[in-house]
Structure 1
Amino acid sequence: MPAPVRRLAGALHRRPGLRLAALLSAPMAWLVLAYLGSLAVLLLSAFWTTNEFTSNIEHLWNTDNFQQVLTDPLYRSVTLRTLGIAVAVTVLDALLAFPMAFYMARVARPRNRHLLLVAVLTPLWAGYLVKAYAWWVMLSHGGVIDWITGPFGGSSPGFGIPAVVIVLTYLWLPYMVLPLYTALEQLPDSLLAASADLGARPWRTFTGVVLPLVKPALIAGSVFTFSLSLGDYLTVQIVGGTSQMLGNVIASNVTLNLPLAAATSCVPVLLIIGYLLAVRRTGALDNL
C-alpha cells in the first residue's frame, strides 16, 4: 500500500469524525453537483434565445428573456398571484396546524398521541393527484360541499384562486403540523406552571412563553409550505379554473421556448432564496 494511502487510512482510524466526514463526502458532492449544477445550467440557458421560425435554441447571449419576464405585465401579474397564494397557504396552515399540534402534544392522552400523529400523516401516503381530484369533486357545483352547505344557504366556491388556496392548504398541512407537534411535545411543563404561578393568563403564557419557544418549528414548517406552494402547478390546473401560477407558465414554455421558461424559473428560485435569507436574519433557524 502506498505511503500516502497508509497515512490517510491511519488518520481515518484515529479520528472517527474524519472517517464519518469521508463517508459523507461522496453523497454531499453528488448532491451539490446535481442540485447546484442543475441551477447553474438553468441560469445559463436563460441567456440563450429561440429562433422564431425554426423554434431551435440558439446560443446567442442576451438578456431579452429576463427583460420580458421583468417588464411584461402578464408575468408580473402571475408572479404576484403565485406569491399571494403561497403566503395565504402558509398563514392558513399555521393557523390550522397550531391548535391541532397543541391538542396532540399537550391535551390528548399519551396513548392517543401517536394515533393522532398517524392520522395526520396518513394523507401523505395517498397520491398527489388522487387528493387533488378528490377536492375537484368536492368543489365542483353539485358536489359534496354543495350538498352539505346547500340546506344552510351556502355553496361551493367553485374553481379559481380560493379553490387553489383550499387544496394547497390541505395538501401541505402535515408539513406544518409535524414540526409544531415535535416542538410542543418537548416544551417543559415547568415553564407553563411557572407562568401560571406568576399570574399570567393563558393568552399571555401563549405569547410570552409558548410562541417564542416554538417559533423555530413554526418557521421551519413555513419554509415547506411556502416553497411547495410557490412551485406547484398541478393543483391550479385541476381546480384553478382560468387562473395560472408561475409553474403553469414555466411548463407551457418548456417545449415552446426553453430559454424563456428558464428565465421564468429563476423567479420562484429567487423568491425562495429571499425568503430563506429573511428567515435566517431573524435567527429562528439557529435553534433548529
Structure 2
Amino acid sequence: MPEVAVSSPASRGLSDRLSDLLWSRQGLLILLLILPPALWLGIIYLGALFALLAQSFFSIDPFSGLINYEFTLRTYGELFRAANLDIIVRTVLMAGCVTIAAMIVGFPVAYYAARYARGKWKALFYLGVMLPLWSSYLVKVYSWKLILAKEGILSWLFETLHLSWLLDAYLLLPVVGGNSLSVSWTGTFLVFLYVWLPFMILPTQAALERVPPSMLEASGDLGARPGQTFRHVLLPLALPGIVAGSIFTFSLTLGDYIIPQIVGTSARMIGQAVYQFQGTAGNIPLAAAFAVVPILIMGVYLYIAKRMGAFNAL
C-alpha cells in the first residue's frame, strides 16, 4: 500500500493555525468582526458627541469673544432666552407638523401597496417611492423653490384656473403666509413633507404587510363597520410601523438646516442656529448647546417609540 504523508503541526502554515484557532474560539472571531465598526462608532461618532457635550459646558467671554474653558451651565441658560427658545419651539412644531402630515398622506399609499399592489404594480410602487431619493438633495430643494416662487408653476396653475385670489388670500395669513410660497413657512413645510415622505411610507407599508387579511375580514363578519375596523384592528397593528416612520421624519426635520435656508422665511431653526453660531458668530459653546437639544428630544422620542414596539418594524 502507498504511504500517505501526514503533515506535522510544525509544518502547517500560519493561516491554517489561525483558522483553527478562530474556529475553536467563536467568541474571538465575533470580537474581531465587530471590533472595526465598534472602534469607528466609539471614536468617530461617540467621541464627537462627547466633544460636543464638553464644549456646551464652556462659555464665551463677553469682552474678548474667546472661549472660557471653565465648567458652567450659563450657556444652557442662554437657551431659555426668548429668541433662542423661539427657535427651539419653532423647530419642534415644524417637525411635529411634518410628521403628522406624513402619517396622513403616507398611510393610504402604504395601505394600497400592502393590500392591493401585486406584481409589476408593486414594483412600480417601490420605484415611485424610492425615485425621489435617487436624485440630489439640493436639486430637489431648489426645484421646489422654483415651483413655489411667485413666478413659478404653482402660481401659474392658480392663475390658469382663475384661483389667484385664493392663493393671494392664503398668503395674507399672518403665520403661514408671505410674499410667496417660497418665502413662507408653508413652503418650508411642503418641501420637508416631500423630501421625508418616503421614510414614512416604507416602514408603514412593512407593518401593514404583516397584518393578516383574515383579521380584517373577521372584524367585518362580526359586524364592525369600516371605521371601527380601522380604529380597533388595523391602526393598532400598523402603529409600530407608523411610529418607526415618525422617527425618521421627526428627527430629520429637527436637525435639517438646508431646507429652511433655501425655502422659507428668515426665522431660524435649530440646524441654522448651530450652523450660524459655530460659523459666522464663532460662539461654539452656544452652538454645541443648541446641538444637544435635538439629541435630548430624540432620546425621549426613541424611548417612547421603543415602548410602543416601533423598532420591530424597522
Structure-2-length-normalised TM-score = 0.82
Corresponding position: 1:154 with 2:166? yes
What is the aligned counterpart of 1:103 among 95, 106, 112?
112
Which segment is superposed worse, 25-34 or 135-144?
25-34
Letter in 1 for 2:253: S
Q: What residue is the counterpart of 1:212 in the other structure?
A: 236
- Aligned positions, number: 283
- CA separation in 1, counterparts of 2:124 and 2:24? 45
Corresponding position: 1:23 with 2:33? yes
1:62-73 alignment runs, 5 A limit: 62-70=72-80, 72-73=81-82
Q: What residue is the counterpart of 1:247 in the other structure?
A: 271
CA contact (8 A) 1:250 1:265 kept: yes
What is the aligned counterpart of 1:120 among 129, 132, 137?
129
Segments of 5+ residues of structure 2 without an aligned counterpart are 1-8, 10-15, 168-179
Letter in 2 for 1:248: Q
1:154 is paired with a residue whose SS is: helix
1:118 is paired with a residue whose SS is: helix
What is the aligned counterpart of 1:259 among 267, 285, 303?
285
CA contact (8 A) 1:161 1:243 kept: no
Corresponding position: 1:238 with 2:262? yes
State the Cα distance separating 1:271 from its structure 2 match.
1.1
**What's the Cα RMSD here?**
2.4
* Percent sequence identity over aligned pairs: 39
State the Cα distance separating 1:21 from its structure 2 match.
5.2
* Larger helix share, 1 or 2: 1
Q: What residue is the counterpart of 1:131 in the other structure?
A: 140
What is the aligned counterpart of 1:178 among 202, 215, 221?
202
Distance 1:279 1:51, change over 3 A: same
CA contact (8 A) 1:86 1:230 kept: yes
Which segment is superposed worse, 6-15 or 173-182?
6-15
CA contact (8 A) 1:250 1:264 kept: yes
Q: What residue is the counterpart of 2:3 in the other structure?
A: none
What is the aligned counterpart of 2:99 among 72, 86, 90?
90
Which segment is superposed worse, 191-200 or 176-185?
191-200
Letter in 2 for 1:221: G
User: For each residue in 1:216-254, what CA deviation from the matched residue of structure 2 results, as whole angstroms up to 9, or x when unmatched?
Assistant: 111110000000000011111111122210111111110
CA contact (8 A) 2:247 2:302 kept: yes
CA contact (8 A) 2:98 2:189 kept: yes
Which segment is superposed worse, 144-153 or 114-123?
144-153
Q: What residue is the counterpart of 2:175 in the other structure?
A: none
Structure-1-length-normalised TM-score = 0.89
Which segment is superposed worse, 219-228 or 61-70?
61-70
Q: What residue is the counterpart of 1:141 in the other structure?
A: 150
What is the aligned counterpart of 2:213 among 177, 189, 192?
189
Corresponding position: 1:275 with 2:263? no
Largest Rg, 1 or 2? 2
State the Cα distance separating 1:61 from its structure 2 match.
2.5
- CA separation in 2, counterparts of 1:7 and 1:139? 67
Distance 1:216 1:15, change over 3 A: farther
Distance 1:218 1:16, change over 3 A: farther
State the Cα distance separating 1:280 from its structure 2 match.
2.5
Which segment is superposed worse, 51-60 or 93-102?
51-60
1:38-49 alignment runs, 5 A limit: 38-49=48-59
User: For each residue in 1:96-140, what CA deviation from the matched residue of structure 2 results, as whole angstroms up to 9, or x when unmatched?
Assistant: 100011112212333311111111111001111111111111111
Distance 1:7 1:211, change over 3 A: farther
State the Cα distance separating 1:266 from its structure 2 match.
1.1
